[in-house]
């Protein structure tokens, strides 16, 4: 299969490319990435010479380039996005440009050229926030609360519209919070590890009791590959690990692994519009496509913390570019 992966130099995209090349000797992967502040070509150093892999530096909003690349592949998996909620609160425009306009550009090229499958990688954040109980299902109405989640929900709606209107063979996945190696150190787990390594305190938003459902990144990648190959066209698939943890629980776990205590926590003013709880039902993908997470949270988080501790040069080489560090 010839596959165009967009945003493949980011956290999940780079793990997906590594995972897919290891799993399928018959995949030829083209990685289109604009290398924004969070795209890092070093994430793919181990596979840069793989003959089944090619990197293209470019933007998903570039119509001519996208058309040219789509005409050369069977399937497209779209990871490319602005993905940091805090940035979306400060500068929503770029989120509309990449996440909405960029997705539209890909869909249009896929429609004009004809493609076997277009898979849109999305997030559980499109469903909004939950109370103390209940889960997000694929049928839960979209109710995004941040400019980031609103832009992702808008893209999901365009994907749906291209299926309904033009019969474009689309698939849409919505995943919970990912953790694992290669995550840009603006996001909670690598951010906290990097702060602690510098002897600084970790900033916990509000009371720290916001709940997220955490999934190991390679389990997400495997789920995407399964949906791409076996998913039913036009369908949405939720992906989650049933690992609900408060931000404070995650913080304590990291503190413990790094030999620190409560005194390293600094409570800071809550994020605007901070969703209280996300929890996702994975019943559909587990029952229809036989996917299940393979890594327990306890194993995954230990491995992840060790990865960051053993790859401190990786963190240092990119943190200078990251706004939260300046
Ligand atoms: N991180 C999570 O926990 C999570 C959970 C669910 C879904 N998702 C979704 O998965 C996808 C990937 O997330 P991530 O955490 O790997 O993000 P990331 O920020 O690490 O990577 C995004 C990548 O997209 C590239 N990019 C940005 N704008 C582009 C453009 N206009 N053209 C081409 N490339 C561009 C960046 O250079 C970067 O390599 C996103 O669509 C995100 O919404 C993420």
Helix intervals (H) in 96-209: 103-113, 147-166, 188-197
- Residues annotated as catalytic are 124-125, 148
Counting Cβ atoms within 10 Å, is residue 122 exposed (0-12), middle (13-18) or buried (19+)? buried
Token pair listed for 154? 């808008």
Helix (H) or strand (E) holding 92: helix 92-95
Contact predicate 125/146, CB 8 Å? yes
Please tell me the predicted confidence (pLDDT) of residue 320.
Answer: 67
The C-alpha torsion from 116 through 121 and 125 to 126, rounded to 10°, is -30
CATH for 2-178+216-239? 3.40.50.720
Please tell me the predicted confidence (pLDDT) of residue 326.
Answer: 32
Residue ranges per domain, the chain? 2-178+216-239, 180-212+243-273+296-325
Please write the tens of the pLDDT for every residue from 44-62: 999 999 999 999 999 999 9
Please tell me the predicted confidence (pLDDT) of residue 223.
Answer: 98
Please write the tens of the pLDDT for every residue from 153-203: 999 999 999 999 999 999 999 999 999 999 998 889 999 999 999 999 999
Mutate to test the pocket of ligand 1, among 8, 9, 11, 250 (most ligand atoms within 8 A of CB): 11
CATH for 180-212+243-273+296-325? 3.90.25.10
Please write the tens of the pLDDT for every residue from 97-143: 999 999 999 999 999 999 999 999 999 999 999 988 999 999 999 99
Q: What separation in Å is there between the alpha carbon of 260 and the centre of ligand 1?
A: 31
Is 126's C-beta closer than 6 angstroms to any atom of ligand 1? Answer: no
Mutate to test the pocket of ligand 1, among 7, 154, 191, 239 (most ligand atoms within 8 A of CB): 7
Q: What separation in Å is there between the alpha carbon of 38 and the centre of ligand 1?
A: 8
Please tell me the predicted confidence (pLDDT) of residue 270.
Answer: 87
Give this prediction's pTM.
Answer: 0.95
pLDDT confidence band for 323 (50 / 70 / 90): low
């Amino acid at each position: 299969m010839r596959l165009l992966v967009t945003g493949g130099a980011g956290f999940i995209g780079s793990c997906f490319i590594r995972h897919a090349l290891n799993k399928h000797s018959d995949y030829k992967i083209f990685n289109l990435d604009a290398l924004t502040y969070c795209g890092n070509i070093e994430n793919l150093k181990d596979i840069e010479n793989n003959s089944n892999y090619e990197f293209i530096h470019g933007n998903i909003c570039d119509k001519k380039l996208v058309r040219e690349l789509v005409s050369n592949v069977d399937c497209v998996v779209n990871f490319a996005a602005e993905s940091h909620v805090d940035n979306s609160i400060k500068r929503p425009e770029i989120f509309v440009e990449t996440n909405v306009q960029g997705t539209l550009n890909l869909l249009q090229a896929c429609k004009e050229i004809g493609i076997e499958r277009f898979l849109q990688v999305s997030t559980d954040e499109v469903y909004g926030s939950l109370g103390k109980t209940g889960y997000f299902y694929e049928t839960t109405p979209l109710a995004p609360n941040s400019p980031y989640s609103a832009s992702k929900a808008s893209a999901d709606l365009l994907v749906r519209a291209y299926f309904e209107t033009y019969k474009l063979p689309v698939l849409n996945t919505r995943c919970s919070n990912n953790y694992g190696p290669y995550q840009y150190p603006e996001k909670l787990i690598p951010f906290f590890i990097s702060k602690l390594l510098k002897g600084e305190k970790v900033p916990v938003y509000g009371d720290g009791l916001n709940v997220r459902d955490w999934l190991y990144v390679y389990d997400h990648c495997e789920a995407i590959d399964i949906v791409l190959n076996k998913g039913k066209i036009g369908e949405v698939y939720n992906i989650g690990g049933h690992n609900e943890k408060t931000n404070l629980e995650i913080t304590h776990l990291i503190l413990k692994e790094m030999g620190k205590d409560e005194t390293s926590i600094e409570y800071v003013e809550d994020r605007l519009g901070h969703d209280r709880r996300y929890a996702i039902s994975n019943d559909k993908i587990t029952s229809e496509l036989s996917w299940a997470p393979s890594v327990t949270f306890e194993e995954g988080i230990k491995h992840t913390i060790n990865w960051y501790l053993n790859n401190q040069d990786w963190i240092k080489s990119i943190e200078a570019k990251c706004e939260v560090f300046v």
